[in-house]
């Protein structure tokens, strides 16, 4: 029998940035991913398009599968010869029943590996501004399951020793037993005035923190409606939160932002969003590829000396043009007689990395403004090269021809629809768990609509802010029936983020 492989992977507490490098590699190569309720949706976007995603989550309301069924599922899929990832919140061996799953695999002779994850017992308090140890307050820490009823006679928890035996107590998944936990701690000698924090969905955009003391925290929980999944922190270190809270103070805290750019381009926008406290959920709707034929671009490269202007409208245009230039055995010296125009600061920076001087960059990145800026610099008969995408708008070329220029458009790259996890995105939108959708080009809009295949898409976006990088993209969105709530004044990634920030502040 051809046995596969099972990876028991700790997904961390929720922030996708806290997944380990090895855990990410396992997700990317898996044929089957078996995931639970505490797995952040962002992590599933790293799965291969053909990977099978199986939800086996457990909650107080019920279980999608029993533990025995999960064990059997892992064995059965690995027995088919598949690579299986069992993706578990936090660390698989800390109250995660990973040990039971490993035992089942070992009994069946299935090879497996354990990939530890960052435990919520430490990371969640940290994101709430609470260090679980502190030299001036405590050097001891205990991590306790909160699922066990503290009143049962055969409790495995020795409350008389636990209550005062460690400076910081962290209970995981204990909200259902919060009243009894606090009663037992006070009964066995813990000061009723001891600070307590309850942190729900810690490290995620949904993070919510409630503080109090042992004698009143159960009342505070009922008052605020706070429920599982939550971490309970008991100890003097909780008082440090007032000074050390950092995550919840970030300007995009609480916002999950959908990034629809190509995977190659998404990193910059995602990084800025996450630096500002939001969660960037990447759903590439486009992929950037080589042209179907290089013949037109090759011909243009052979006669580079004949062009008075070369206009680059995107970073992708720069990347693919110069890559082909090198492949043809040429270099930047062939551009010595041409003036260079860059549409936008990022495109300009891409050219400057080749030590090239940009002659002109328009103050606004639309065809009309580009031509207005070049009007006195382009003479009738000047040859202009436009290396660009296969689906680029014709407005710029037409406006340049109206000036008398001889314009040659060549395809330097293609923009094609990508294949992301549309089902997951539809579910998150329906649940109101995506707060902002960003569009950075008309093609991202069109492909987003095409990939979702949702007949009532405007209704699906009722709880979501739609943000567009500029007027052309916004016009396309409206033509496709989408609402547009935010439009950047400066048509750049930085301008888009600034517009989202302003809208978020105004919505508060």
**What's 379's DSSP letter?**
P
Output the CA torsion sign for 55, 61, 67, 69: negative
Provide CB contacts within 8 A for 471, sequence distance 6+.
366, 487
Q: How would you class 156 by CB atoms within 10 Å of its CB: exposed for 0-12, middle for 13-18, buried for 19 or more? A: exposed
* Full DSSP string of 351-365: HHTTTPPPSB--SS-
Query: Catalytic residue among 5, 88, 91, 173, which?
Result: 173
Query: Catalytic residue among 3, 58, 65, 334, which?
Result: 58
Nearest-angstrom CA–CA distance, 280 and 25: 19
Query: Using a CB cutoff of 8 Å and minimum separation of 24, what contacts does 241-247 make?
Result: 241/128, 241/129, 241/130, 241/197, 241/209, 241/211, 242/129, 243/129, 244/129, 244/130, 244/131, 245/128, 245/129, 245/209, 246/129, 247/127, 247/128, 247/129, 247/203, 247/207, 247/277
Q: How would you class 337 by CB atoms within 10 Å of its CB: exposed for 0-12, middle for 13-18, buried for 19 or more? A: exposed
CA-nearest of 212, 152, 229, 161 to 190 is 161
Sheet holding 339-342, edge to edge: 286-289, 406-417, 383-389, 309-312, 339-342
Nearest-angstrom CA–CA distance, 455 and 147: 43
Say which residue the tokens 């202007």 belong to: 309
Query: Catalytic residue among 15, 36, 91, 382, which?
Result: 36
Q: Is 36 a catalytic residue?
A: yes
Q: How would you class 273 by CB atoms within 10 Å of its CB: exposed for 0-12, middle for 13-18, buried for 19 or more? A: buried
> Which tokens hold the place of 88?
């578990």
How many other C-beta atoms lie within 10 A of the C-beta of residue 140? Answer: 12
**Residue 84: which H helix or E strand, with range?**
strand 83-88
3-state SS assignment for residue 124 = helix
> Which tokens hold the place of 59?
């909650």
Nearest-angstrom CA–CA distance, 163 and 236: 13
Count CA atoms within 13 Å of residue 334 on its CB side. Answer: 16
Q: Is 58 a catalytic residue?
A: yes
Do the beta carbons of residue 44 and residue 35 sit within 8 Å? Answer: yes
Active site residues: 36, 58, 173
């Amino acid at each position: 029998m051809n046995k596969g492989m099972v990876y028991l992977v700790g997904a961390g507490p929720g922030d996708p940035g806290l997944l380990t490098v090895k855990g990410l590699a396992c997700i990317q190569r898996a044929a089957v991913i078996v995931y639970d309720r505490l797995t952040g949706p962002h992590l599933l976007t790293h799965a291969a398009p053909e990977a099978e995603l199986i939800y086996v989550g457990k909650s107080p309301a019920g279980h999608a599968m029993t533990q025995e069924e999960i064990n059997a599922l892992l064995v059965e899929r690995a027995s088919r010869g598949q690579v299986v990832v069992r993706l578990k919140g936090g660390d698989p061996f800390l109250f995660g029943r990973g040990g039971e799953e490993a035992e089942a695999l070992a009994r069946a002779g299935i090879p497996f590996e354990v990939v530890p994850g960052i435990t919520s017992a430490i990371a969640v308090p940290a994101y709430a501004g609470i260090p679980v140890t502190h030299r001036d307050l405590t050097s001891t820490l205990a991590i306790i399951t909160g699922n066990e009823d503290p009143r049962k006679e055969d409790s495995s928890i020795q409350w008389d020793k636990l209550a005062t035996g460690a400076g910081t107590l962290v209970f995981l998944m204990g909200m259902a037993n919060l009243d009894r936990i606090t009663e037992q701690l006070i009964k066995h000698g813990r000061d009723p005035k001891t600070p307590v924090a309850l942190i729900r969905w810690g490290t995620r955009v949904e993070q919510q923190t409630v503080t109090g003391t042992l004698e009143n925290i159960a009342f505070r929980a009922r008052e605020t409606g706070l429920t599982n999944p939550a971490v309970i922190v008991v100890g003097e270190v909780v008082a440090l939160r007032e000074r050390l809270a950092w995550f919840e103070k970030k300007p995009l805290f609480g916002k999950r932002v959908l990034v629809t750019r190509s995977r190659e381009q998404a990193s910059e926008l995602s990084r800025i969003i996450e630096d500002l406290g939001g969660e960037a959920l990447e759903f590439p709707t486009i992929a950037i590829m080589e042209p179907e034929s290089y013949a037109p671009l090759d011909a243009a490269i052979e006669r580079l000396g004949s062009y008075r202007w070369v206009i680059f409208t995107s970073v992708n245009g720069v990347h693919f043009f110069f890559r082909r230039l090198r492949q043809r055995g040429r270099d930047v010296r062939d551009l010595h007689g041409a003036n260079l125009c860059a549409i936008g600061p990022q495109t300009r920076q891409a050219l400057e990395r080749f030590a090239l001087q940009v002659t002109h960059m328009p103050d606004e990145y639309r065809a009309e403004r580009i031509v207005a800026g070049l009007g006195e610099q382009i003479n009738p008969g000047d040859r202009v090269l436009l290396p660009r995408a296969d689906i680029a708008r014709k407005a710029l070329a037409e406006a340049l021809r109206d000036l008398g220029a001889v314009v040659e458009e060549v395809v330097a790259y293609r923009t094609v629809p990508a294949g992301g996890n549309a089902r997951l995105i539809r579910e998150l939108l329906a649940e109101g768990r995506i707060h902002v959708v960003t569009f950075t080009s008309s093609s991202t809009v069109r492909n987003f609509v095409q990939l979702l295949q949702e007949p009532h898409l405007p209704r699906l976006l009722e709880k979501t802010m739609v943000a567009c990088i500029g007027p052309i993209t916004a016009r396309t969105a409206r033509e496709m029936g989408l609402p547009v709530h935010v439009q950047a004044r400066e048509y750049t990634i930085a301008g888009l983020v600034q517009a989202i920030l302003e809208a978020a502040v105004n919505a508060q």
